[in-house]
Amino acid sequence: MADVKADLAQRLERVQGAMREQGVGSLVVYSSGQHNMLRMDQLFYLTDFRCIGPSVLLVPSSGPTRLLVTPVWELDRAREAAGVSEAKGVRAEDLAEAIRQEAHELPGPVALSGRDVISMGLAQELGIAGYADGESYADGELLIPSLAGTRTPVEVERVTKSAHIADAGFQTLCDAARVGMREYELHAEVEAAMQAAGSEDNFGLMGAGAHNVAIRPATERRLEPGDLIIGEITPCYQGHFAQLCRTFILGEPSDLQRQKFNMLLEAQDKGFEAAKPGLPSSGIAKAVNGVISAAGYAEYCRQPYMRTRGHGLGFGGVVPYDVTEDSSPVLQENMTFVIHPNQYIPETGYMMLGDTVVIEANGPRCLTETPRRLFWKS
Amino acid sequence: MQTQHPVIKRGGLYWDRDALPPAIFSNRLKTIQRTIAEAGDDAWLMYGDAQRYGPVAYVGHFLPRTRSVLVLVPRSGQPVMLASVGPRDVPAAKTLTAIEDVRPFTQLPREAIRLLMEQRLGQAKVGLVGARGQLSAAEWQAISSELPEIDWRQRDDVFNRLRAAKEPAEQAMIRKAHEVVQTGLDVAGTTLKPGATLREALAAADKAMRQAGAEDVRLLVGVGGGSLRPPSDATISPSQSLSLLAAAEVQRYWAEAARTYGASAALADQAVDAMVATAKPGANAGAVADAARAVLSSATGWTDTTADAYGLGHGIGLDADEPPVIRASSSETLVAGAALALHVVLPGSIAGRTVIVGGNA
């Protein structure tokens, strides 16, 4: 098992090295406590602490960091986190003043990450109401994400575990799904199985119907014979997400459904072939879209019929972010992301297929182990 | 109480029109528009996100399962909702709300500016609800700098008064949510056993609450005298006391309760009972807190600050944490129909429940 403390120390060294190179004296990393799949959790990246309330990590360009955490009773848990060297509990109403005081003592110039999640009220209390002019803080938003595009051994281990939890979740979906069950009851089964296996969060979506238009949240609808159940299962293990997308039919699939799902399999294969170190991530989307377009669905390779052909996965949104024909990041070894040719098809409705991969020297290695096929239960 | 926020709402999301019929929302719209006029405003912008969505759920029952939503309520006419969903998600979003005009956005400032201009509000008086605590400063800067002639006013206090007393249908939903929480606490009583991990044991409670219709579930657990925290992979030892706080959201309405397993919570229970007895219409929120402190003080001399650190309670409803705060310094007067989440956290024990002021829950 990889050494978490050493891994976190190396992350901090990399960040502080970049700060010195860029002339940043200190970095204030703010997290609102509202976690978001599309935003990298920078505070977690340096602390291994997934905060409940608004919290701030103060990072000097050398030396130990200091964490300000709300609510006050979270202090014990914060202190136990592997990347926290010094922590202080602060009442929410005192946070602005605490940040001001601490930032005043930090070596300058001081940069800030988290502008996009600081509320207008807190910004006013911090005296940065004239926000766009950057008078108070330099822009430090991209400093950490630029260093966190690839996963360390600890991170790969956690994403892998998360992928296996997703496999367990989908297996539960297959076992538990039955006609007459409400969608949310099935979702609860999947959720509980993954929590018991170690999941602490889940970007989980699950829709069902004879002809799904898109993936959506579970509703009170009861499952019916012939339903296509589409699942985007995204558990989180020790702060790291992995995703599995599959299609399950409550009944025997038709030839048409098999044929269209085979198209997604072929598209995903082509996407895998394009996922090699040194190649642009846009190549994956082009490869996937190529197969689907050749099958006569070129006009469906855009919103609202699909969203992206994949996206970065780790602690929230990470490089390569959304995989589209316009995405620019170049693939590197140890990037982790999902490749999913999820697609609305006019004849069958929305079908899903997606797997989390890690990029290795020869190409992608699937971390999810669920067989890549159409699932059904007669 | 604050709990770990998930990346997405993933319980059953739908609108129970029998429990909360459309007429409730048309009546609320009239009330809000009358209040807008009385305040001398031309419109209100009501903002919410997945963490705090009370204002937008109040006006139209919608909640964002992730990211945010903005509702423009003009002084007269129909509201317009901007939701952070893709175009393909609009049909599903419309099934969740009484607001008919639902528009997707990827960049909130751009769409908000467009909407305000479309409604000819570029030089108007516009109230802000829910924005100060939740709307990002960057988005606010982008909107306000493009519309320098709008006279913006903070209207959180005015709006909070509108929803302080819960309507009968709201009280019913809060009671339903409280039943769901009790179901979870009951199940936890059967699964929190030596040898199980906290995560395994509480997954069963989570499932029971979601299967009972919870849109969202929150659990915090304390082991022995340790602090409350999200469930971990720690294994439960024999004779270990466990403090569990559970919250559930049903049809946008929250309730929370707490229970101790494997130890006596008599003192915490007495303190909560004292608060419940004091929380009558017309009572002062500070007096409610004082009732708990008196019980604790007589037993312990009040040398421990644990209960203070966690707080003694707060309003609850469309947001998991609403005014008033139950603390010694609070001077707010409780109104009949207000919903309160009252809790006492002590080292090694916890008690708590949700009550309707002047009601029988």
Residue A57: predicted pLDDT: 97
pLDDT digits (tens, 9 = 90+) for B228-253: 999 999 999 998 999 999 999 999 99
Residue A374 has pLDDT above 50, yes or no: yes
| Over residues A327-337, mean pLDDT | 94
Q: Do B133 and A119 touch (CB under 8 A)?
A: yes
**Amino acid at site A74:** E
Residue B360: predicted pLDDT: 60
A102 touches chain B (CB under 8 A): no
A1 touches chain B (CB under 8 A): no
CA quadruple B110, B116, B118, B124: dihedral positive or negative? Answer: negative
Q: Which residue has the higher pLDDT, A132 or B266?
A: B266
Residue B113: predicted pLDDT: 98
| Over residues A68-72, mean pLDDT | 96
Q: Please name every residue paired with B42 in a beta bridge, in sequence order, or none if there are none.
A: none
Residue A115: predicted pLDDT: 84
| Over residues B132-157, mean pLDDT | 94
Q: Which two tokens stand for residue B109?
A: 């400032």
Percent of chain A as helix, strand, coil, to the nearest 5: 35, 20, 40
In whole angstroms, what is the distance from residue B342 CA to residue B337 CA? Answer: 15
pLDDT digits (tens, 9 = 90+) for A274-290: 999 999 999 999 999 99
| Over residues A240-269, mean pLDDT | 97
Fold of the A4-147 domain: Creatine Amidinohydrolase; Chain A, domain 1 (3.40.350)
pLDDT digits (tens, 9 = 90+) for A161-183: 999 999 999 999 999 999 999 99
Q: Do B211 and A117 touch (CB under 8 A)?
A: no
Averaged pLDDT score across all residues of chain A: 93
- How far apart are the CA of A278 and the nearest CA of chain B, in angstroms? 30
For A125, phi then psi, to 5°, come to: -65, -35
Residues of chain B positioned with their CB less than 8 A from the CB of A75: 227
Residue A281: predicted pLDDT: 96
A212 touches chain B (CB under 8 A): no
DSSP string, A209-244: ESS-SS-----SPBP-TTPEEEEEE-EEETTEE--E
Residue A329: predicted pLDDT: 92
Query: Cα torsion for A307, A38, B4, A30, to the nearest 10°?
Result: -160
Q: Which residue has the higher pLDDT, A314 or A306?
A: A306
Q: b/e per residue, B92-107, with b = 16+ CB within 10 A? A: bbbebbbbeebbbbee
Q: Which residue has the higher pLDDT, A195 or A131?
A: A195
Close Cβ partners of B21 (under 8 Å, ≥ 6 residues apart): B169
Ranges of CATH 3.90.230.10 domains, chain A: 153-376
Residue A135: predicted pLDDT: 56
A141 touches chain B (CB under 8 A): no
In whole angstroms, what is the distance from residue B251 CA to residue A129 CA? Answer: 36
Q: Which two tokens stand for residue B196?
A: 């199980």
B10 → closest Cβ in A119, A187, A213: A187
| Over residues B155-162, mean pLDDT | 95
**Amino acid at site B111:** E
In whole angstroms, what is the distance from residue A231 CA to residue A65 CA? Answer: 40
Question: B205: pLDDT confidence band, cut at 50, 70 and 90?
Answer: very high
Ranges of CATH 3.40.350.10 domains, chain A: 4-147
Q: Determine contact, residues B66/B89, Cβ cutoff 8 Å.
A: no
Cis amide linkage into residue A153, ω under 30° from 0: no
Cis amide linkage into residue B231, ω under 30° from 0: no
Residue B140: predicted pLDDT: 93
A213 → closest Cβ in B67, B91, B310: B91
| Over residues A200-214, mean pLDDT | 93
In whole angstroms, what is the distance from residue A4 CA to residue A10 CA? Answer: 10
Residues of chain B positioned with their CB less than 8 A from the CB of A204: 8, 10
Residue A129: predicted pLDDT: 52
In whole angstroms, what is the distance from residue A358 CA to residue B97 CA? Answer: 40
Going by C-alpha positions, the residue among B121, B124, B120 that lies closest to residue B151 is: B124
Q: Please name every residue paired with A196 in a beta bridge, in sequence order, or none if there are none.
A: none
Query: What size, in residues, is chain B?
Result: 361
Residue B302: predicted pLDDT: 58
pLDDT digits (tens, 9 = 90+) for A85-132: 999 999 999 999 999 899 888 998 999 998 889 999 998 888 775 444
A198 → closest Cβ in B5, B95, B233: B233
**Which residue of A lies nearest to B135 if distances are taken between CA atoms?**
A119
Q: Do A132 and B67 touch (CB under 8 A)?
A: no
B14 → closest Cβ in A202, A220, A344: A220
Most B CBs within 10 Å, among A31, A32, A34, A222, to test the B interface = A34
Touching B: A residues 242-301, CB under 8 Å:
none
Residue A355 has pLDDT above 80, yes or no: yes
| Over residues A58-70, mean pLDDT | 96
pLDDT digits (tens, 9 = 90+) for A49-61: 999 999 999 999 9
Question: B192: pLDDT confidence band, cut at 50, 70 and 90?
Answer: very high
Q: Do A34 and B5 touch (CB under 8 A)?
A: yes
- How far apart are the CA of B24 and the nearest CA of chain A, in angstroms? 21
Residue B361 has pLDDT above 60, yes or no: no
Going by C-alpha positions, the residue among A240, A169, A178, A167 that lies closest to residue A208 is: A178
Query: What size, in residues, is chain A?
Result: 378
| Over residues B267-287, mean pLDDT | 96
CA quadruple A146, A151, A155, A159: dihedral positive or negative? Answer: positive
CA atoms within 13 A on the CB side of B53: 24
Residue B149 has pLDDT above 70, yes or no: yes
What is the H or E stretch that residue B56 is in? Answer: helix B54-60
Range B85-93, long-range pairs (CB < 8 A, 24+ positions): B86/A214, B86/A303, B86/A304, B86/A307, B87/A303, B87/A304, B88/A213, B88/A214, B88/A303, B88/A304, B88/A305, B88/A307, B88/A344, B89/A214, B89/A216, B91/A213, B92/A214, B92/A216, B92/A217, B93/B62
DSSP string, B237-265: PTT--EEEEEEEEETTEEEEEEEEESS--
In whole angstroms, what is the distance from residue B46 CA to residue B54 CA? Answer: 9
Residue B301 has pLDDT above 90, yes or no: no
**Which residue of A lies nearest to B3 if distances are taken between CA atoms?**
A52
Q: Do B11 and A184 touch (CB under 8 A)?
A: yes
A153-376, superfamily in CATH? Creatinase/methionine aminopeptidase superfamily (3.90.230.10)
In whole angstroms, what is the distance from residue A355 CA to residue A369 CA? Answer: 8
| Over residues A354-369, mean pLDDT | 97
| Over residues B140-166, mean pLDDT | 95
Question: A16: pLDDT confidence band, cut at 50, 70 and 90?
Answer: very high
A122 touches chain B (CB under 8 A): yes
The 8-class DSSP code of residue A207 comes to E
In whole angstroms, what is the distance from residue B201 CA to residue A193 CA? Answer: 11
Question: A134: pLDDT confidence band, cut at 50, 70 and 90?
Answer: very low
Close Cβ partners of A262 (under 8 Å, ≥ 6 residues apart): none
Q: Determine contact, residues A14/A147, Cβ cutoff 8 Å.
A: yes
Close Cβ partners of A284 (under 8 Å, ≥ 6 residues apart): A271, A274, A275, A309, A310, A323, A339
pTM of the model: 0.95
Q: Which two tokens stand for residue A66?
A: 């200091």
Going by C-alpha positions, the residue among A34, A65, A31, A350 that lies closest to residue A211 is: A350
**Which residue of A lies nearest to B93 if distances are taken between CA atoms?**
A216
The 8-class DSSP code of residue B213 comes to T
